[in-house]
A and B are shown apart, each in its own frame.
Chain A
Amino acid sequence: MATAAAAKITPRIHEVPDDLLAAIDYCYDQGWTDGLPVVPPVVDRVKAMLAADDRPPETVIALHPATGLDLSLHAAAVNAVMAGCLPDYFPVLVAGFEAMEKAEFNFHGSTASTGGSAPLLVVSGPYADAIGMNSDVNLFGPGNRPNATIGRATRLILRNVFQMIPGISDKSTQGNPGKYSFCIAERMRGNPWPALVETQGYAKGASSVTAYAGGGFCNVENHGGNTPEHILSSVADAMANYGCITLGQSVVILAPEHMGIIAAAGWSREKAQDYLFSQAKRSVDGMKSVGKFRDREYDAQHGEGASPLAEQGFIHRGMRPDDILITMGGGDAGGHSCFIPSWSRGRGSIMQHAEIRKRS
């Protein structure tokens, strides 16, 4: 884990004319942007960002094994300023990289791959409200500053610090709109299930970030269903479509309308996970019909230690029910949930989480 302080190396300073628009253009010229204008990382703003974390600025919070490049708090703060973050958002960004830095997340692979995933950050706990994050209408945006800028800072760090440059080291075939920004808060208002942060074993009152290599976004519309089976079967069908089905993990964000139907029937998160895992499947013959069947994947899913819900003769999405993160988000109106497939055809990236720690 990367928490040590690196040798002190003075960050480079660029002298530019006192002209804000010219400074924005300068950032473009340096190749520092995601294609949109950035806030020029002036010294005072970076120092204000760093004041949100009382550790030395050279503290390393993530390492990139493929290149040996590291992410210091200072570099994180520079990119956070450029993305438009306020200092109160900084602990979320730091926790996001502390989660992504865990080897199982494999942020190099998930960023470099043709698969084109984007790190989805799901913020759970009271800190989301404390900084004004959106968990409600237009959950995935646009319109909310912390959601938009924390997600954007994540991308800028991947680009500027770890040099995951589109077309060079980021070989994504088609990209992904989430690669501009992909950050949400878990909605707790009206949510009948425990917050994700509680299920992750953190202390009461804590907040966390869950990082997930999201391979896209699939809207799941169902305005006619009125039982948990109706709703979740629609979700399971999206999870098991031939384009998406793999042994990878899943994120499902249930709309409040859908959650209301599921909760009214008394279903727990675990029951919903079991149902989705059981239903999100394709027959072996079906997988063969599209050229996607592999013996080793079938054996991995049905061999020793397999989930008892893994049905013979079928490939399920994921390895077991708890591979499916389910929570609630979005506005009160509308039967629109979503399924976000994972990057990788296998287990190339496993979602990770870290506690948000306010250190100032």
Chain B
Amino acid sequence: MRSLKARRVLASFPGFGLVAFRRNNNTDTTSTPFSFSFRRQSNSPTTSKQKKLYDLEVYISRSRSPYFNLSYEDYLFTRFPAYTSYSASSTQLSKKVLFLYTNYRSVIIGRNQNPWRETNVQSLRRHNVPLIRRKSGGGTVFHDEGNVNYSVMMPGNSFDRDEHALLLCTALNSVFKQRAEETVLSVNERHDIVDQNARKVSGSAYKLQRGKAYHHGTMLLNSRLETLSKLLHHSVDSGLEVVEGPGVQSVRSPVSNIGISNELFINTAIAAFKSEYMTGSDNAFKARYVDEDSITKEEEQEVNKSIDELQSWEWTFGSTPKFVHRFLLRDSTPAVSFTVKEGTILDLESNLPEFTEYKDSIIGSPYRGADVASRIDSELWKQRLIGAI
């Protein structure tokens, strides 16, 4: 394995010049959500390769359910120890968890995104594609069985946005070389893995809590990309709807598959993590297959709680940051706009009697198609809103 440290990644911070994200080789015990090291390029120390070893645990999911997999990921993260200055012991190796999973066709939005802005909720419903809000930040991604997700949990003090993507790049590049394929992967400034044509093959997102963090990413292997573009076609692209408000908007990128099998990717990833973070002996290596049937009763309880939350309307739609959803007529004149906060209609603006007559009953209603429709009389608008909201 080539040294990761030699492949220092430069990221620019406003007002701070060039900054190098550096792997933290100290065995210090202080740790916080934000305590990854960052320092000026000029005075960062030269690389003296000293591997930081971890107590590595690997989990591979046999389930294809995005609800189970995201919930199990959440469970693993909750159980992951928080490495803080008052809790850590310096003698023990810190833990690192690698969790690999594949979901059936689904669309996953970031923690602070607006599903009405980022996806076409009508088309997702029509095609029976689950829409799920995850706990980490970032933009909207499409999952199917040609995509493998990797999730790495680490102590807060070794949080690094690029380390694991670089590790995978190096490992995959040597696979391509062996197979005499021309694919060469690298990590771009958005922390995504891209191929030699700058097409994205893997997207990253992160979550940081006290003393711990995770980085998870997609890896497009043989994903049906034409479905992706159809499903991620936004509702607002029609020009008949406008969504305004704070929150995170996705950045659209050209995408590509790397074309290897799920098994080869999983084996390559595990081998790379083992050789980077463990000593030579295989004895300490722990890998576990998980799915709905093989988890313990205790795990099942926690995971089911989390599945219930992920499936709830309150989480997926109700926790959208405050926004205004405007519906236009064919000639682009505004027809009605709803101001929505915490899933409830706060205000309504319209010149149409179809809405103004019922304003009082609409305000305070949950922002769900059926709820809004039940408060108006116009059949035409009922149909339109049931589809679009």
Same complex: no
A residues adjacent to B (C-beta < 8 A): none
Q: List chain B positions with a Cβ less than 8 A from chain A.
A: none
